């Protein structure tokens, strides 16, 4: 039994979990441990069983660690894969002691390491393996090297998805999961890019939730995954989250990244590297 520990409120951790399990061939028998509001959407989870973290544990590292320990014991978990935050989102794994027979892995992506170490924890559990998905800041990589038996590079591949109805071109595509103010900002960026384009194109927003103040000339599509819309898009405008950058990389000539400030994710470094 594998338990994938995917703490975070948006789509990113669950999307990465699915891609990791597909890439490594470990999806059969896996369970997700998640706090995302999208954890009930089978398109996002791929139908995998989910241990949903109660909202009452938000900000409670001890309660979260206790729930994890009970889950490991109750499900007979033999391998725990920790996504993105090596000591947990709240530092809850700093004091985690793996029971006998439990193998601990980590899936690492870029973090604002000084902020993370100060706000969560610089004390990490011991990982047998850490899979490095993108270039890390130096101190982050050194900390993971000291806490891991081995560091292994890994290029993720998303699982196949069901065919979706095509969208009539030409269109500029905005892909974002919110919040609404960021979506409005991305739409404004897409409008400016269209003004500089030689031909007419409409605006299409791919988002799992419809913004409350969506302009009437924008077509909203509840598409997940949105990758099927990339090839025909005149432009693709998105934030600089890990999955968005990875999935749009084949279309980078038509891609426009807008990094946003996040507590731990360093979207600005990722966007700068992608240029």
Domain chopping of the chain, boundaries: 2-153, 171-274
Can you give the pLDDT at residue 164?
A: 85
Can you give the pLDDT at residue 57?
A: 94
Can you give the pLDDT at residue 197?
A: 77
* Average of per-residue pLDDT across 85-92: 97
Band of pLDDT at residue 162, cut at 50, 70 and 90? confident
Q: Count other Cβ atoms within 10 Å, centred on residue 234.
A: 18
In order of 13, 41, 62, 65, 224, the CA distances from 176 in angstroms are: 14, 17, 32, 31, 11
Can you give the pLDDT at residue 82?
A: 98
2-153 and 171-274: identical CATH topology = yes
Homologous superfamily, domain 2-153: Glycogen Phosphorylase B; (3.40.50.2000)
* Average of per-residue pLDDT across 187-215: 90
Q: Count other Cβ atoms within 10 Å, centred on residue 155.
A: 9
Can you give the pLDDT at residue 51?
A: 98
Q: How many helices (H) and strands (E) does the chain have?
A: 8, 12
Q: Is the pLDDT of residue 223 over 80?
A: yes
- The CATH number assigned to the domain with range 171-274 reads 3.40.50.2000
């Amino acid at each position: 039994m594998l338990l994938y520990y995917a703490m975070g409120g948006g789509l990113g951790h669950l999307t990465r979990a699915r891609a990791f399990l597909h890439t490594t061939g470990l999806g059969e028998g896996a369970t997700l441990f998640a706090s995302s509001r999208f954890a009930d959407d089978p398109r996002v989870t791929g139908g995998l069983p989910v241990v949903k973290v109660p909202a009452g544990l938000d900000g409670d590292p001890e309660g979260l660690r206790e729930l994890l320990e009970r889950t490991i014991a109750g499900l007979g978990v033999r391998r725990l894969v920790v996504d993105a935050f090596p000591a947990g989102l709240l530092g809850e794994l700093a004091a985690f002691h793996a029971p006998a027979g439990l193998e601990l892995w980590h899936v690492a992506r870029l973090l604002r390491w000084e902020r993370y170490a100060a706000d969560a924890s610089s004390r990490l559990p011991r990982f047998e393996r850490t899979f490095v998905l993108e270039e890390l800041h130096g101190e982050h990589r050194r900390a993971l090297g000291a806490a891991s038996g081995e560091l292994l590079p890994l290029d993720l591949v998303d699982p196949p998805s069901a065919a979706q109805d095509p969208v009539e071109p030409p269109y500029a595509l905005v892909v974002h999961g919110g919040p609404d103010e960021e979506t409005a900002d991305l739409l404004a960026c897409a409008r400016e890019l269209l003004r500089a384009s030689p031909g007419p194109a409409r605006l299409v927003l791919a988002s799992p939730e419809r913004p409350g103040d969506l302009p009437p000339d924008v077509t909203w599509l509840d598409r997940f995954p949105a990758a099927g819309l990339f090839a025909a898009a005149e432009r693709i405008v998105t934030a600089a989250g890990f999955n968005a950058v990875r999935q749009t990389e084949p279309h980078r000539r038509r891609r426009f990244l807008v990094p946003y400030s996040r507590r731990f994710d360093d979207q600005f470094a990722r966007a700068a590297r992608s240029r």
